[in-house]
Structure 1
Amino acid sequence: MSLARSLVDVTPLRTSPVFRRLLIGRTVSLLGGFMTMVTVMYQVWGMTRSTAWTGAVGLAQALPLVVFGLFAGARADRADRRRIYLTATVGQAACSLLLAVQGYTGHVPVVAVLALVAVQAAFGALGAPAAGVFVPRLLPRDQVAAGLALNQVAGKSMMLLGPALAGVLLGRLGVGTCYLLDALSFGLAFYGAFGLPPLPPEGEPSRAGLHGVLDGLRFLAGHRAVRGALVTDLAATVLSFPVSLFPLVNAERFGDDPRTLGLFLSALAVGGVGATALSGALTRLGRPGPVMLCAAGTWGVSLVLFGLSTNPWAGLGLLVVAGAGDATSVVARSTLVQTRTPDALLGRVTAAEQIVGQAGPSLGNVRGGLLAGWTSGTFSLVTGGLLCVLAVAAVAATTPELRDAARALPEGA
């Protein structure tokens, strides 16, 4: 197999100027978003010196998506997705501007900062289901996987660059300027999406309110391949997500060296960037179901071996492999979901997928922390990884639609 065929497939960038401009705008916006994530944590810690308050930052970011996500998905399946996304982008930019103002003045209570973060997250919850339909609507079906892989490359790269850039700029320019740069990045995201054509739902629009949400949930319950894809993601995150264990494992296994701890999360991101950068052969394969199952199993096995490893460098290498498995699983899962879901339901299904992506790691961190408190970090990691592998095997055994899932036309509800 040639190296060129292994590299991420950039065909969508050549064939679709609209997708190319959208990707550039969203990549810059992701950079600003990761900078703001670090800036908020830094500011709240400086204001309170309390880990309870810094933990509340994550709650303020995740809760709006969990609460409003499915309703936002139903809304995206009733209206022009382009208009919804542009509205959400303006709202997020306005919140960043207000965060910049309070960052320069420095005379607001911490609750006000968290409220702005929560409102910005609510606008994000509104825009995310609409954005989830862009790739399958803008690209031919045989390029959807490549487009999603390019999104993953951009996201993982900004996950590496954004926090590091924020750390440099916070010391030199302060929190207000970091928030202001995030607001400006939303301007590029708006520009990238402004050139999109109108994107109303194809087929019967969603019913309003709770009825539309329930229709989406009935589709998920009845579509075995899509349901299996989301269950696989939950298995990989709820049963084995390792981030909350990193400080304890670092102390137990690696002498509590802060340099090692700082590399753990970076190793996951490096693996994700590398896997998506070399995803060309897998996205061209056209079999997202088997790829997702194998990648999720790789994630679980890597975490088992990481939990047993006593060598810091071997442990970091295993985290790179785990990050690669996670990123590959995400691309394959999204490809399967977006090519198997009718367009009229895609906003709601995308919202459910994103809720799983937000809630799963949070629950996994809680599970890992509680079990490690009763036993040890090593036991929590190893058992979590094994449970993940067993759960993925169970999904594969009971869902032949996933084992055989090649790209296909969307199936009806």
Structure 2
Amino acid sequence: MLPDLSPWRESRDFRTLWTSGLITTFGSFLTFVALPLQLKELTGSAAAVGALGAVELVPLIVFGLYGGALADAFDRRTLILGSEAALGAVALGLLLNTLLPHPMVWPLYVAAALSSALSGVQRPALDAILPRIVAHTQLSAAAALNSLRWQVGGVAGPAVAGLLVAYTGLATAYTLDLATYVLSLLLALRLAASPPAHDAAKPSLRGILEGTRYAWGRKELLGTYAVDIVAMLFAFPIALFPFLADQLDAQWSLGLMYAALPFGSMLVSVTSGWTSRVHRHGPAVVLAAAGWGAAMTVAGVVREVWLVLFFLVVSGAFDMISGIFRSTMWNQTIPDELRGRLAGIELLSFSAGPQLGQVRSGGVASLTSIRTSVWSGGLACVAGVALLAAALPKLLAYDARTSEHARAVREARESAGTSGGQD
């Protein structure tokens, strides 16, 4: 049941990237809580908070796809470092706006858009570098450990942010976020270079379309993208958390609501040893996504704050199970020369959904109510996942032991003598 620590023990670059990412994640979650809360205080509008998702969506689509092409054409270490420095500059901008006598609303949307664009550049490079620094047989373990890193930051960041905002103000949260970017950047400088293949093509629309055609031809991969988008579109109501806490007369619970999802995910990660013995990853993705929607439905129905928090934790656990097996399918079956571009598509699948989910939840809440938006989205998620499973039989049939794509990637790594970045 315990997590497999072999990637941490055997790969220096993985340890470096994991530690740097943990620090960044903690700081990012401080802003994750502070930004919508500041927007709520300045506007008092659920729709205005939900609009953050719309503002983030276009930069995410454009730079996610282009960032994937960049990750195949340029040194992935350079892309990671450059985008990390730029994200730190965005945190500085949020801090300066907050220190004004009368903070403005528009810089919050600009910061959200810039962060989305920079994440679109950075995330494909982070995903694409993983198969180079970790052995093929350790990719499931690495996915679980990377998720655990995100969850530790996701639990600690919102909890600390809630206390900081309540007792010291928003500026302190933004200051700490800026400090974490500086520290993580210094650590990431230790990463070894990760140059592109010698015959890598320059970033182009043609190259992006090549990656898109490959994804379209892999219906089991297409299914993982579609399932995740549907789950997040309908059942990701975090834009409503500040308003839900008010309705429950439990303003103190806001930080816990944000922390509940990653806490549930962390419970799965710290007991993730069993995941390496699962081979039918497709059905696992489908069942976990349906479980996410069902738990979110109950969270929208119950009226006791501790029950809401409990079912948010359950939702996070199902999301983690789905995420581990999606990541394993991607990392074990996508060729290295396409890994960046496919990582860009992955970024859209697990990021565009949440952005649209914020817009959906905010819009439905403004037309109906906060609770109706939450539980109706959960039900729609379950129905949508069931329809996708019926429409994509290759996803339900996927088995890593018999997949020709997994076998081809494994043989390519063995013939190339890939070390996985080990000491």
Structure 1-normalised TM-score? Answer: 0.84
Matched letter for residue 168 of structure 1: L
Q: Structure 2: how far apart are the matches of 1:236 and 1:117? A: 22
- Match of 1:8, SS state, is coil
Question: 2:330 is matched with which residue?
Answer: 337
Q: Across the two proteins, how many residue pairs are aligned to each other?
A: 404
Matched letter for residue 400 of structure 1: K
**Pick from 93, 105, 116: which aligns with 2:88?**
93
- Match of 1:77, SS state, is helix
**2:343 aligned with 1:363:** no
- Match of 2:85, SS state, is helix
**Pick from 176, 182, 188: which aligns with 2:183?**
188
Deviations 1:84-131 (A, max 9, x none): 111111212233234434444557744345434433432222111111
**Pick from 391, 400, 403: which aligns with 2:394?**
400
Higher mean C-alpha displacement, 238-247 vs 338-347: 238-247
Deviation at 1:138, TM superposition (A): 0.8
Question: 1:323 is matched with which residue?
Answer: 316
- Match of 1:197, SS state, is coil
- Match of 1:133, SS state, is helix
Query: Are the counterparts in 1 of residues 224 and 395 from structure 2 also a CA contact under 8 Å?
Result: no
Matched letter for residue 360 of structure 1: G
Deviation at 1:404, TM superposition (A): 2.8
Unaligned runs of 5+ in 1: 1-5
Question: 2:61 is matched with which residue?
Answer: 66
% identical aligned pairs: 34
**Pick from 251, 257, 260: which aligns with 2:249?**
257
Q: Structure 1: how far apart are the matches of 2:241 and 2:223? A: 29
Q: How does 1:149-228 map onto structure 2 within 5 Å?
A: 149-170=144-165, 174-202=169-197, 205-228=200-223
Q: Structure 2: how far apart are the matches of 1:391 and 1:105? A: 45
Q: Structure 2: how far apart are the matches of 1:217 and 1:207? A: 16
Q: Structure 1: how far apart are the matches of 2:253 and 2:408? A: 44
Deviation at 1:30, TM superposition (A): 0.9
Per the alignment, do residues 106 and 355 of structure 1 end up closer, same or farther by CA in structure 2, a change over 3 Å counting?
Answer: farther
Per the alignment, do residues 237 and 123 of structure 1 end up closer, same or farther by CA in structure 2, a change over 3 Å counting?
Answer: closer
Matched letter for residue 159 of structure 1: G
Question: 2:295 is matched with which residue?
Answer: 302
Structure 2-normalised TM-score? Answer: 0.82
**2:130 aligned with 1:138:** no
Query: Are the counterparts in 1 of residues 53 and 355 from structure 2 also a CA contact under 8 Å?
Result: no
Matched letter for residue 77 of structure 2: R
Query: Are the counterparts in 2 of residues 289 and 406 from structure 1 also a CA contact under 8 Å?
Result: no
RMSD of aligned alpha carbons: 3.4
Q: Structure 2: how far apart are the matches of 1:303 and 1:189? A: 34
Deviation at 1:355, TM superposition (A): 1.6
Q: Structure 1: how far apart are the matches of 2:301 and 2:46? A: 29
Question: 2:346 is matched with which residue?
Answer: 353
Per the alignment, do residues 297 and 46 of structure 1 end up closer, same or farther by CA in structure 2, a change over 3 Å counting?
Answer: closer
Matched letter for residue 341 of structure 2: R
Q: Structure 2: how far apart are the matches of 1:293 and 1:210? A: 32
Per the alignment, do residues 224 and 203 of structure 1 end up closer, same or farther by CA in structure 2, a change over 3 Å counting?
Answer: farther
Per the alignment, do residues 377 and 349 of structure 1 end up closer, same or farther by CA in structure 2, a change over 3 Å counting?
Answer: same
Query: Are the counterparts in 1 of residues 50 and 363 from structure 2 also a CA contact under 8 Å?
Result: no
Q: Structure 2: how far apart are the matches of 1:333 and 1:220? A: 14
Q: Structure 2: how far apart are the matches of 1:32 and 1:311? A: 30
Q: Structure 1: how far apart are the matches of 2:234 and 2:241? A: 16
Per the alignment, do residues 258 and 300 of structure 1 end up closer, same or farther by CA in structure 2, a change over 3 Å counting?
Answer: same
Query: Are the counterparts in 2 of residues 26 and 192 from structure 1 also a CA contact under 8 Å?
Result: no
Unaligned runs of 5+ in 2: 411-423
Higher mean C-alpha displacement, 295-304 vs 331-340: 295-304
Matched letter for residue 285 of structure 2: M
Higher mean C-alpha displacement, 345-354 vs 394-403: 394-403
Q: Structure 1: how far apart are the matches of 2:191 and 2:365? A: 48
